[in-house]
Copies of this chain bind each other. A is one copy, B any other.
Amino acid sequence: MPVSERLGSHLKRAAQALSAAKQATLKQAGLTVPQYAALLYLSDNPGMSAAALARACAVTPPTMNTVLKNLQEQGLIERTPHEWHRNILETRLTEKGERVLADADPRAVRVERGLAAEFSQEERETLVALLGRCIGFLESARQAEH
């Protein structure tokens, strides 16, 4: 099966180009792409658990653990034990985290807006729908595998 016929290779290249573009612009704010994603969700949901954050960002808990560790070392987040549910750690942005996110977000949004502007409203909806079907199939295939 020729590579050019494989939807996967187009998908992968597009995702990689996106990641590279975001990485280039976020670097100026001192963040990586996963760090930015985590801060963005935390900003909307202060105090959410690392596990919930991992689900939101579509990564595994150990991966999120790594990202949070780096964010914590930079003083951008703080993690405090939950009042009574002692098994969960509440994660929140620090003031510095808010400032860094406020610097990074416009940069990331600029990339997204630029990308969106390449398409008409109808094309965007088509693309999102097609990608959604890819995700649906691939995730069910993954489950069926085992």
Q: Which residues of A contact B (CB under 8 A)?
A: 1, 3, 5-8, 10-22, 24-25, 40-41, 58, 109, 111-116, 118-119, 123-124, 126-128, 130-135, 137-139, 141-142, 145-146
Contacts and interface: CB of A to CB of B under 8 A. Distances in A.
Which of A16, A19, A109, A132 has its CB near the most chain B CB atoms (within 10 A)? A16
Contacts of A8: 18, 22, 111-112, 115
B119 A20 contact: no
A134 B11 CA distance: 10
A119 B128 CA distance: 14
B128 A10 contact: yes
A127 B129 CA distance: 10
Contacts of A133: 118-119
A135 B7 contact: no
